[in-house]
Amino acid sequence: MFFGQCLWGPYKHIHPMNTQETTYYALSSPPGRSATASIRISGPQSLASLCKITNKNKHIFKHGKTRVCNIFNSNKNLIDRAVVVFYREPRSYTGEDVVEIHTHGNPLIAQSIFNELSDFGLRLADPGEFTRNAYLNNKIDLVQAEAVLSLINAQTNKGVELSINSASGSLSSHLKELRGSLINALSHVEYELDISEMDNHNKTLKLVVKDIEKTTNHINSLIKSYNTSRLLRDGIRVIIVGAPNVGKSTLFNALLGQDRAIVTNRPGTTRDSIESSLQVSNYSILLVDTAGIRETKKLIEKEGVKKTNLEIKGADLIYHVLDPRTKKTTKKLPTTTQTITVYSKSDLLSEPEKESLIKENIEAVVVSGKLGMGLKELTQKTTQVIGVSITQKESVYITSKRQQTILLNAVAALNNTRDPNVVNQLELISIHLKDAINQFDWLLGKTTADDILNTVFSEFCVGK
């Protein structure tokens, strides 16, 4: 087993696990040299393995209490002196017996411990196996599990904050409240249909319709919150586009403060997208320099233009760079994505010409990537546009595309109750309410197929 392989990245497959028969381990800190390294073990053989590797009696390890112990190999040679913690099931992250070993951060030390654990019959954990078993053992629900992944990948402080709230159960609680509202509405319908001896059809219908409308509005707010949480977690993808030789790559380099893209006077120098990360007013941005957009017969350049068009479709924000000295570059982009018009090469313009540009388009920004002029104004404009896109008015936010898709299905089911052929039929309303409730069960993981779980947890790193 090679220590450096695939310890911190997604696998494509998770095999079914029997938590009663298997004990698994993984590095739960990033690989490489550091002050400390953390190894996590979970399963019925966790405590026995700890006793073997420390030459200690199991009775000295109390739940949640840290101890400093020597770690030995099978030849009784000292591997390291480490801090160890034992968590007795079910009072652990996974709901199983769990051991944590915190060693010095030399990969050779961790590899030596891995070798011993492997010799004990333990196996290397699959991606997300610790969190998956926490879900299977009812320590967390599926929404909280997804929030753990979102927390690990968050690119901004606000993204971390949103993910922590969801991981702690705030989103799950809100979703359960919405599910409860639908169950309450369904109970009124079922009572009227099956139990009530009085004709309260119209009264029940009015009450149920009101509950459905209120719940639908709450769900729609959650659906809209995904865009905000996605941008805060993944960062904002900002694409620099324009005709060839208008100064895109020069602007790209200037914003990064380093020469990442090749800059020449020859049009079509950039043939492929180049991307790099930077921070703008506490927002994480992935800045992408693209090939120039123009009609061309050159095969390679055509591919570059094709990739640029794909980048435009996936952009959160676009810098449309124009050379103010030419007219052919002022063509409007075929996109509804928020766009900032950037007039480049301002160092080649007179002051009256600059003023004229601003009068023509007061929302545009005039820059010189070569001299670094106008970059502050561009970042200020960018911050303003992002701030409008990221509305943080909700108390909770959904954190995955899966959640958004299921909520859209729930709304579709509830909207079916407004169909003219359904609206006065309590029996049909009952069917659509049950469909919506079933969507919430899928959302929270009450009824989830193995392939869905495999997809969710395959995105996790091995030690989580």
Q: Choose the most confident range, by mean pLDDT, from 19-23, 96-100, 236-240.
A: 96-100
Q: Is the pLDDT of residue 3 over 50?
A: no
242 and 385 fall within a common domain: yes
Place of tokens 């509950």: 211
Average pLDDT, the chain: 84
Specify the higher pLDDT residue, 54 or 254.
54
- Which residues of 213-280 form beta strands (DSSP E)? 236-241, 274-280
User: Do the beta carbons of residue 405 and residue 452 sit within 8 Å?
Assistant: no
pLDDT in tens, 63-81: 999 999 999 999 999 999 9
310 and 420 fall within a common domain: no
- Which residues of 144-221 form beta strands (DSSP E)? none
Q: Which amino acid is at 429?
A: I
Of 140, 162, 193, the last residue of a domain is 140
Q: Is the pLDDT of residue 122 over 60?
A: yes
**Residue 328, domain extent:** 235-389
- Which residues of 119-273 form beta strands (DSSP E)? 123-124, 236-241
Q: Has residue 5 been placed in a domain?
A: no
Mean pLDDT of 341-356: 83
Residue 5 CA neighbour count, 13 Å, CB half: 6
State the burial class of residue 447 (Cβ atoms within 10 Å of its Cβ: 0-12, 13-18, 19+).
exposed
262 and 379 fall within a common domain: yes
β 66-72/78-87 pair status: antiparallel
Report the share of the chain in percent with pLDDT over 70.
Answer: 86
350 and 404 fall within a common domain: no
Q: Is the pLDDT of residue 324 over 50?
A: yes
pLDDT recorded at residue 134: 93
Q: Is the pLDDT of residue 5 over 60?
A: no
Give the C-alpha distances (Å, rounded to integers) separating 229 from 164, 287, 321, 385, 410.
Answer: 12, 19, 28, 16, 20
Q: Is the pLDDT of residue 338 over 50?
A: yes
pLDDT recorded at residue 19: 43
Q: What is the CATH number of the domain that holds 155?
A: 1.20.120.430
Q: Has residue 2 been placed in a domain?
A: no
> Cα separation of 186 and 350, whole Å?
71
User: Do the beta carbons of residue 97 and residue 44 sit within 8 Å?
Assistant: yes
pLDDT in tens, 259-305: 655 554 555 445 567 888 888 877 888 899 887 776 665 666 667 67
286 and 406 fall within a common domain: no
Q: Has residue 73 been placed in a domain?
A: yes
pLDDT recorded at residue 9: 37
Q: Is the pLDDT of residue 328 over 70?
A: no
180 and 325 fall within a common domain: no
pLDDT in tens, 160-209: 888 888 888 999 999 999 999 999 999 988 887 776 555 677 888 888 99
> Cα separation of 124 and 126, whole Å?
7
pLDDT in tens, 397-441: 998 999 999 999 999 999 999 888 887 788 899 999 999 999 999
Identify the weakest region by mean pLDDT among 31-40, 101-110, 150-159, 386-395.
386-395
CB count, 10 Å around CB of 330? 14
pLDDT recorded at residue 259: 66
Q: What is the CATH number of the domain that holds 242?
A: 3.40.50.300
Q: Is the pLDDT of residue 229 over 90?
A: no
pLDDT in tens, 148-159: 888 888 877 778
User: Do the beta carbons of residue 60 and residue 75 sit within 8 Å?
Assistant: no
pLDDT band at 245 (very low <50, low <70, confident <90, very high): confident
pLDDT recorded at residue 330: 47
> Cα separation of 359 and 367, whole Å?
15
256 and 377 fall within a common domain: yes
Q: Is the pLDDT of residue 2 over 60?
A: no
377 and 263 fall within a common domain: yes
pLDDT band at 369 (very low <50, low <70, confident <90, very high): confident
Of 324, 359, 389, the last residue of a domain is 389
pLDDT recorded at residue 265: 52
Q: Has residue 18 been placed in a domain?
A: no
Place of tokens 């590899």: 111
User: Do the beta carbons of residue 103 and residue 146 sit within 8 Å?
Assistant: no
pLDDT band at 396 (very low <50, low <70, confident <90, very high): confident
pLDDT in tens, 39-66: 999 999 999 999 999 999 999 999 999 9
